[in-house]
Structures are given as structure tokens and as C-alpha cells.
A and B are shown apart, each in its own frame.
Chain A
Amino acid sequence: MLSIFEYSFIVRGLEAGLLIGAIAPLIGIFLVLRRYSLIADTLAHVSLAGVAIGLLLKVNPLFTAILASAASSVAIERLRASKKIYGESALSIFLSGSLALAIVLIGLAHGFNVDLFSYLFGSIVTVRPADIYIILGLGAVIGITILAFYKELVYISFDEDAAKVSGIPVKLFNTVFILLAASAIAISIPIIGILLISALLVLPVVAALQLKKSFKATLLWAEVISLSSVLAGVVASFYLDVSSGGAIVLIMLAVFGAILLAKSRAKK
């Protein structure tokens, strides 16, 4: 049997997966606590339109996905803040609108020459060598920014008005955060897939929340759950020849289920 590490694409897939697995809870915990989980799903669909544009223009689709996701995240925030339409309506307009755009673009190009399936559900084969550098670079920016402004983000998530009164520039932080979230979602596409990204962001955090720990401990547990699920998922996808995104999300679900089960047992 061939060792898993003899394939360069596997090593790439693992590298990309672990980077994304580390960033996801940092973004996810604030998305979940601010009731923004659905934004992840919307921005993922917007990213698909970005991927389609990239494939059509023959530039790296990851690059156009990041641009599309970032631009839409700011537009969604503006639309929500203007209160001209409901927040969820803004999300569903962007979600289905960008999906429509993606489908039309894909149709125009007669289906491209790539496997759309792997963009939808993630595949370690999708990760191109250049992607690793984009993921690494952007991932570092996201991770460092979140950790640097950790205490402000916690305060804003807990109590936005009180944070504002204490002098924290809440509006600026909200914009910066949504841009970081948009970038994190876009760079997760190759490995997790558009349809499964919100699970990657939400599941480890929701599982860790069940443990009822301090904020810091909750974040650490979410990291542990996320990284180990990604590692196990990528390895499983290699040996079982299944989608890496699907494998990762199923493992996360299993962890979440196990925690819920253990909790209800402990109560009895």
C-alpha cells in the first residue's frame, strides 16, 4: 500500500485543509454568536459566481472568488444597515442572485473544462500549487487580525451598544470583520466546497458551545474539533476516495452528536 504522503496533492490538500481548519473557528465563533451563520452560506454562493467568472476569464478562480465574496459582504452589510429591506431578504437575494449568475456563466462557457462538482463539495485534488500561497498569505492576515482585535470583537459580539459607548469603533470593526469572513469563506472553497463551507464555520463552534466554558476555552475547543476533523476528513477522503468536504463535515457532525449525547447522559 502506498503511503499517503507520497502524493504531492495529498500533502497540499492537508496543508490547505489544516490552514483553513485553524482559521474557520476564529471567524465562525463570531458569526455564530452574532447570529450571522447564514451570511457564510450566502457568501459561499457568491464565491461560486466568482469561481465562474475566474474560469471564464481564465484567471485563478480562487482569486475572483475572494474579490466577489469581499465586495458582496460589504454590499450586504450596507443593505442590512440601511434597513430598507430585511436582513434575511438581503441574504436570500444575494444567495440566489449569485447562484443564478454562476449557472448562466457556466452555461455560456458550455460547462467549462473543470469538474464543477469538486467546487460544490470540495476535493483535495482541486487545490492548485498556487492556491497554497494564497491560502497561506490570506490565512495569516485573517488569523493575525482576529487575534489582534480579539478583545474588541468579543465585546462587540456580546454587547454592541456597550462596546460603542466604551469608545470602540464598532462600525469599522464590523466592516473589517465581514471582509475577513468573506476572504476566509472564499479560500475554503477548494477543500471544503461551496455548499459545505457554512458547516465548517458553524459546526465546531456550536459543538464547543455545548461544553459551556469561558470564551477562550470555547474557542480553543472549537480549534481542536475543527483541526482534528479536517485532518481525519482529508485522510479518509484519500483512502475511501470520497469528497474531502463531505468527509470533514460528517466527522464534525459526529463529534457534535457525541458531545450532545454525552451531555444528556451526564444529566441523567
Chain B
Amino acid sequence: MPVDHTKNIIEVRDLSFAYGQTPVLKNITLTVHQGDYLGIIGPNGSGKTTLLKVMLGLLTPTSGTVKLFGADCLGFKDWSKIGYVPQKAINFDPLFPATVREVVAMGRFGKKGLLFRLTDEDQAVVRQSLEQVEMLEYQDRQIGDLSSGQQQRVFIARALAGQPEVIFLDEPTVGVDVKAQEQFYALLKRLNQELGLTLVMVSHDIDVIAHEVTELACVNQTLVYHGEPEEFVKGDYLQKLYGKNIRQILHDH
């Protein structure tokens, strides 16, 4: 897929969001271009996950707009262009009776429309998606029996099975051990660079994410920083965001 870095995939304009009377996001404006690998970071309670959910139309903004592929996200119809990997650790039921293949097949459902059954062609896409994340040999295993890192790769495969143009990931490495995290980030980098997939990832893991992404947005109610990760690390944004001794904390890792 030829990547056009000037094409706008997501346009967030003057976005504010509040839960009841409690403001969570204020006046956020940012644009994601095709082929971007955007990391959204911020402290706990900064509204970064809320921002992702508003972008996906799961929450309705109090004011401002979100456009996906040029269309307002509240009336957006073309959901098959979008893949979503939710916060696994919280949402996932390990006893759910499903094989890896069944989980990945769910990624095809949005494309099929109601009342249509999956065809051999769909099954081929499911296989291919599992191959891309190197999980094909696990296709008949129970999803609950896999390790966290493997489960997370299966959820990526599910997003890939929908053949999206952009994938949103919400804290995908929570509960995943360090070695599996490295493999996971390598996989994301490959998807971004080789397949030209646009990625939007929310994370609290500033140190790691700053080395992986091509664009960084730092949120704490307002958009504190948006630009290249290198500039962010050089500047004193971290102190603004987390208080004084954050550099010390990062170096101690």
C-alpha cells in the first residue's frame, strides 16, 4: 500500500470531554496522518484513554469534533477501515470458551455485515493474520490458556483480520512481561513500516514508547506536547507533566 503522509486519517479539533461536571479533556486539536505511529502518553487520570474512546466514537465529545477519514466520527460508517485493540487486562475473560481462530475470526464480522456467514476467503484472511503475528500454530488453542503476550498478539491478529488502515491500541502491554513486550513492539514497528499501517497507541510507558513511535502526543487534560518524540525527551515537558524528579526515575530503570 503506498503511504501518503499528507493524507489526514484522524482530525481532532477543539475537543473537550467531561464526565458529568468533571472535565477530562480540554481543547485538544491534533491530526494523525497516514503512516503515522502516534503514541499518546500521560499520567494516570490524564484522559488519554478517554481521548482514544472519543476518537473511536465510543464516547460523545462535550464540544469539538473528531473526523475519521474526513467524516465526522459520530456518523462514521466505514468502520472496517479501523482496527481496535482494547485494554486487554481489564476487558478479557480468561474462561471465555473460544479458540484463537474464533477470536481472530471476529475481526471479519464488521466487514461481512449482518446475516452473512464467514467464507473460505474469510478463513484465509484469518490464517494470514495469524501468520503475521506468528501465532498460526496456536489457532486451535483456547484463548484463555495462552500467556498474556500471546493473547495480545492474537488481539492484534483480530484487528488485522479486518484489513484496517489504522489500528488503535489502548495500553496493549499491561500485564505483558518485558521480553514479550519487546517482541510486541517489534511487531508493531513492522506493521507500521512494512504494511504502512497507521497506528495510534495509548500508553503510560513513556520511556519505551518514546523510542518506538514516530509521533508523540502528551495529554494531561490539555495537549501538553505534540510532535517528534526526540524533542519531547530533550525538552522539560516531562517535568511539567509529572513533577520534578522524573528524569531521575527514568534513568534508574
Indicate if A88 sits at the interface (CB-CB under 8 A): no
Indicate if B178 sits at the interface (CB-CB under 8 A): no
Indicate if A168 sits at the interface (CB-CB under 8 A): yes
Indicate if B185 sits at the interface (CB-CB under 8 A): no
- Known: A152-B114, A155-B109, A166-B79. Contact between A209 and B56, CB under 8 A? no
CB–CB B142/A212 < 8 A: yes
Indicate if B224 sits at the interface (CB-CB under 8 A): no
In A164-218, the 8 Å CB interface with B consists of 164-168, 208-209, 212-218
CB–CB A159/B80 < 8 A: no
Closest chain A CB from B77 CB (angstroms):
7
Taken together as a complex, chains A and B put the C-alpha atoms of A33 and B102 apart, in Å, by 16
Among residues of A, the one whose C-beta sits closest to the C-beta of B56 is: A165
CB–CB A33/B56 < 8 A: no
CB–CB B162/A166 < 8 A: yes
Indicate if B233 sits at the interface (CB-CB under 8 A): no
Taken together as a complex, chains A and B put the C-alpha atoms of A91 and B80 apart, in Å, by 36
CB–CB B97/A168 < 8 A: no
CB–CB A158/B109 < 8 A: no
CB–CB B95/A159 < 8 A: no
Closest chain B CB from A1 CB (angstroms):
43
Size category of the binding interface on chain A: 20 to 34
CB–CB B109/A166 < 8 A: yes
- Known: A159-B86, A212-B97. Contact between A167 and B80, CB under 8 A? yes
Determine the chain A residues whose CB is within 8 A of the CB of B162 once the complex forms: 166
CB–CB B99/A214 < 8 A: yes
CB–CB A161/B91 < 8 A: yes
CB–CB A218/B79 < 8 A: no
Taken together as a complex, chains A and B put the C-alpha atoms of A13 and B84 apart, in Å, by 48
CB–CB B114/A165 < 8 A: no
Determine the chain B residues whose CB is within 8 A of the CB of A157 once the complex forms: 96
Taken together as a complex, chains A and B put the C-alpha atoms of A215 and B100 apart, in Å, by 11
In B116-165, the 8 Å CB interface with A consists of 117-118, 142, 145, 158, 162
Determine the chain A residues whose CB is within 8 A of the CB of B117 once the complex forms: 151
Among residues of B, the one whose C-beta sits closest to the C-beta of A205 is: B97
Taken together as a complex, chains A and B put the C-alpha atoms of A135 and B117 apart, in Å, by 28
Taken together as a complex, chains A and B put the C-alpha atoms of A254 and B196 apart, in Å, by 56
Cross-interface CB contact of B106 among A158, A214, A217, A218, cutoff 8 Å: A158
Indicate if B82 sits at the interface (CB-CB under 8 A): yes
In B86-113, the 8 Å CB interface with A consists of 86, 91-93, 95-99, 102-103, 106-107, 109-110, 112
- Known: A151-B109, A155-B109, A159-B106. Contact between A165 and B79, CB under 8 A? yes
Indicate if A117 sits at the interface (CB-CB under 8 A): no
Closest chain B CB from A167 CB (angstroms):
3
Closest chain A CB from B68 CB (angstroms):
11
Among residues of B, the one whose C-beta sits closest to the C-beta of A151 is: B109
Taken together as a complex, chains A and B put the C-alpha atoms of A155 and B110 apart, in Å, by 10
Indicate if A148 sits at the interface (CB-CB under 8 A): yes
Among residues of B, the one whose C-beta sits closest to the C-beta of A150 is: B117
Determine the chain A residues whose CB is within 8 A of the CB of B92 once the complex forms: 159
Indicate if B1 sits at the interface (CB-CB under 8 A): no
In A218-239, the 8 Å CB interface with B consists of 218
Closest chain B CB from A33 CB (angstroms):
6
- Known: A149-B114, A168-B109. Contact between A161 and B99, CB under 8 A? no
Taken together as a complex, chains A and B put the C-alpha atoms of A152 and B115 apart, in Å, by 9
Determine the chain B residues whose CB is within 8 A of the CB of A214 once the complex forms: 97-99, 102
Closest chain A CB from B224 CB (angstroms):
26
Taken together as a complex, chains A and B put the C-alpha atoms of A157 and B98 apart, in Å, by 11
Taken together as a complex, chains A and B put the C-alpha atoms of A163 and B84 apart, in Å, by 9
Name the residue among A148, A158, A164, A218 with the largest chain B CB count within 10 angstroms: A158
Taken together as a complex, chains A and B put the C-alpha atoms of A154 and B158 apart, in Å, by 14
Among residues of B, the one whose C-beta sits closest to the C-beta of A148 is: B115
CB–CB B82/A158 < 8 A: no
Indicate if B58 sits at the interface (CB-CB under 8 A): yes
Closest chain B CB from A232 CB (angstroms):
25
CB–CB A167/B110 < 8 A: yes
Among residues of A, the one whose C-beta sits closest to the C-beta of B105 is: A151
Closest chain B CB from A156 CB (angstroms):
10
Determine the chain A residues whose CB is within 8 A of the CB of B102 once the complex forms: 154, 214-216
Cross-interface CB contact of A165 among B58, B93, B118, cutoff 8 Å: B58
Determine the chain B residues whose CB is within 8 A of the CB of A159 once the complex forms: 86, 91-92, 106
Determine the chain A residues whose CB is within 8 A of the CB of B56 once the complex forms: 161, 165
Q: Can you list 16 residue pairs at the A/B interface with Cβ under 8 Å? A: A151-B112, A157-B96, A162-B85, A162-B158, A164-B58, A165-B168, A166-B80, A168-B109, A208-B97, A209-B95, A212-B97, A214-B97, A215-B97, A216-B102, A217-B97, A218-B97
Contacts A158-B103, A162-B86 given; 9 further ones with Cβ under 8 A? A148-B115, A149-B114, A161-B53, A161-B56, A161-B58, A162-B106, A165-B82, A166-B80, A168-B110
